[in-house]
Structure 1
Amino acid sequence: MTQAKSGIEGRTDGRQDILDAAEAAFSEAGFAGASMKAISLRAEVAQGLIHYHFQTKEGLYAAVIERRAHWITTARLTLLDRIDLGIPDATAQIFEAFFRPPLGPEGGGRVFARIFALLAVGDARDQALVERLYDPSARLFIDALSSARPDVSRETCVWGYSMALGLLVGAVGRSGRTERLAQLPPDSADDTEALIARLTCHATGGFEALCEEARA
C-alpha cells in the first residue's frame, strides 16, 4: 500500500496533489460520486490533510473550479488586453482570445473538460461558482465586443458572447462525435489550432450576422 504523505512537506506540496486528484475524480464520477476517501488515496495523502486544506467536499470542489478558472481567465484577459479594438478584425481576435485558453494547457484537457461542460448547465452550486469566477471576465469580453461594434446594443453583444460560450461547451469535450459523423478515424479532428480557428470563424460570422440583423 502506498504510504500517505504527511508532515510539513505534505502540507506544502500535498495541496496541489489533492487538487489534481480531485479534478480527475470529479471529472470521472461527478461531485456526488467522488468520495473524499477515494481522492485521498489517489493523491496519496491522509484524508485528514484534505479536511485541513479544504474543510469539506464542497470546499474542495470549489477550489478545483477556482484554480482552473484562475488559469483560464488570466490567460484570456492577457490575450484580450493585446487587442486593438479599433481594427477591422477585432471581433475575430476577441473570440479567439475567448476560445484559446480553455482549449489550451490552461484548460486542463479532457479531464477538466467534463467539469467545464457541466458548469454551464449545473445546479445552484455550479451556477454560483460560474457567477463568482467567470461572470466578471465575461463582462469584460462583452465590453470588448461593444467597443469593437459600437453601432449595436449591448444586448446584441451579450447574445454574441452567449452563443460563443455554447460553441465552446459543445467543443471542449472533444468526444469524437465529429469524427464519427464525418466517418473519419478517431481523433483525426483532434487539432487544437484547427478547432480554435473553426470556432472563431463560426462565432465571428454568427456575431456579425446578429449585428447586421440588429441594424436592419
Structure 2
Amino acid sequence: MNQAIETVDQGNRVQDTKERILDAAERLFAENGFATTSLRQITAEAQVNLAAVNYHFQNKESLIRAVLHRRIGPINQRRFDLMDALEFAAGESGPMVLEDVLRAFLLPVLEARTSCPEMRHWPRLLGRLYTELHGSLMELFQREMAPAAQRFTAAINRAEPTLSPEGLAWGLHFGIGSMAHFLAAGELLKFISRGIVDPDDHMEALKHLVAYMAGGLRALRTENKEAAQ
C-alpha cells in the first residue's frame, strides 16, 4: 500500500516538474522570443536543473514543440469539432457558407484567449511565433498546423469554389496575420479607437475578423474574374 502511494506521489512530482518547465518556457518564449531564450533561463525560471529538461524534452527544439502542441492541439481539436457540425449540417455535397467556416477557424483561438487563465501568455506567444517563423520553427509550426490547414483549405474551397489557389493562399495569409496582430496588439486597438473598442470582447472581435477575412477572400475571387476577362 505504501509503495503504491509512493509511486503515485513520485508520478505527481514528475508531472509537476514537466508542467513547471512548460509554463516557464511558454512565458519566456512569449516575452523574449524563441531564439533568444536559453535553456539556462528556462531552468532558472522553473527552478529545475538542466537534467530535468533533458529528461522530459531531450533538447530545446523538442521543448518548443511541446509548448506549441500543448496550446495548438486543443485549439485545433475544437476547430475540428465545429467543422464536424458544419459538415454534418451541409451533408456530403451541400454548399457551405464561408463565414461559418471562418468562424470555426477563429472562434477556438479567441475562446482560449479569454476563457482559460493558463492561456494568458498565448497572445504574445502567437505574435512571437509569427515574427520568428523560419527554419526549424517553421517546420514545427507546419507539423502542428498541417491537419487544420488541409481541412480548412478544403472547406473554404467548398464555400467559394471560384477562388483560385493563389487567391486562397493570399487571403489566408493576410487573414491569419490579422488574427495574430489582434491577439498580440490588443492595446493598440484601444489606442486607435480611443477606448471605444474593448479588445477583450472576443465575440465582437470574432464578428469583425470573420467579416474582414470573408470580404478579403471574396475580393480576391472578384479579382480573379477580372483578370480572366
Instruction: Tell me the TM-score normalized by structure 1.
Output: 0.84
1:44 Cα deviation after fit: 4.2
Counterparts of 2:191 and 2:54 in 1: how far apart (Å)? 43
Partner of 2:170: 159
Partner of 2:208: 198
Partner of 1:83: 86
* Residue 139 (structure 1) aligned with residue 142 (structure 2): no
Counterparts of 2:79 and 2:177 in 1: how far apart (Å)? 17
Structure 1: 4+ residue segments shifted above 6 A = none
Provide the aligned length of Structure 1 versus Structure 2: 209
Partner of 2:6: none
Unpaired segments ≥5 residues, structure 1: 1-5
The structure with the greater share of residues assigned to helix is 2
Unpaired segments ≥5 residues, structure 2: 1-8
Correspondence list, 1:101-120, <5 A: 101-105=108-112, 109-120=119-130
Counterparts of 1:29 and 1:152 in 2: how far apart (Å)? 39
1:26 to 5, 29, 38: 29
Q: Secondary structure at the match of 1:176?
A: helix
1:169 Cα deviation after fit: 1.5
1:175 Cα deviation after fit: 3.5
Q: 1:188 to 1:155 in 2, by over 3 A?
A: closer
Give deviations 1:106-162, integer Å, cap 9, x for gaps.
786441222212323323122111221113311211110111122333333233222
1:188 to 183, 192, 198: 198
Identity %: 29
1:202 Cα deviation after fit: 0.7
Counterparts of 2:78 and 2:202 in 1: how far apart (Å)? 16
1:95 to 88, 94, 102: 102
Instruction: Tell me the TM-score normalized by structure 2.
Output: 0.79
Give deviations 1:162-207, integer Å, cap 9, x for gaps.
221111121111441111122217x833211111111011111111
2:56 to 53, 58, 68: 53
Contact 1:21 1:39 (8 Å CA) reproduced: yes
Q: Secondary structure at the match of 1:82?
A: helix
Point out the structure with max Rg over C-alpha. Answer: 2
Partner of 1:69: 72
Q: 1:109 to 1:195 in 2, by over 3 A?
A: farther
